[in-house]
Amino acid sequence: MPVVHKYKNKNGFYIKSSTNGKIITYQVTTHGCDYLTSNGYGDNYEISINNLMRLKNSGYIYTKGSGPGDIDTLPRNNAQNNQFNSNLNKKQPNFSEENNDFAGCGIGCLAIFIIFIILSTCTRM
């Protein structure tokens, strides 16, 4: 599942996701950062694919166009393993209709995601 990360050396967030064993890093716009913060997201919070697609379709996130890269293996030492496990236990914010300015686009986002998967699969053949 995609994970929101806070930059350590500057303000803002980025989101790491993966597809077909490759990692994708999304940059988050200022409006996207405001949206994530106002909906309870913080450093190392998971975000659903549906909400990731909502952010992408709204123009709140983007990639720099370098394409997917290789995913690193799981953390190698105890400190990294502890951080990894604690990230898995963090609560996801709840997007409710009252709090969601993207209400009603879930089916459209799902359709776009399915088309993306089909196209990415077809291009590998």
Does residue 32 contact residue 55 with C-beta atoms inside 8 Å?
yes
Does residue 117 fall inside a structural domain?
yes
**Greater pLDDT, 34 or 103:** 34
pTM over 0.85: no
Q: Residue 73 has what pLDDT? A: 43
* 3-class DSSP state of 115: helix
Does residue 77 fall inside a structural domain?
no
Which residues form the domain of 102?
3-71+93-123
Tell me, rounded to whole angstroms, the distance of Cα 62 from its chain centroid.
11
Q: How many domains does the chain have?
A: 1
64-86 average pLDDT score:
53
Does residue 43 contact residue 51 with C-beta atoms inside 8 Å?
no
pLDDT tops 60 at residue 91: no
Does residue 88 fall inside a structural domain?
no
Does residue 83 fall inside a structural domain?
no
13-40 average pLDDT score:
90
Does residue 81 fall inside a structural domain?
no
72-85 average pLDDT score:
50
Does residue 27 contact residue 73 with C-beta atoms inside 8 Å?
no
Q: How many CA atoms lie within 13 A of 97 on its CB side?
A: 3
Confidence at 72, pLDDT banded by 50, 70, 90 = very low
Does residue 31 fall inside a structural domain?
yes
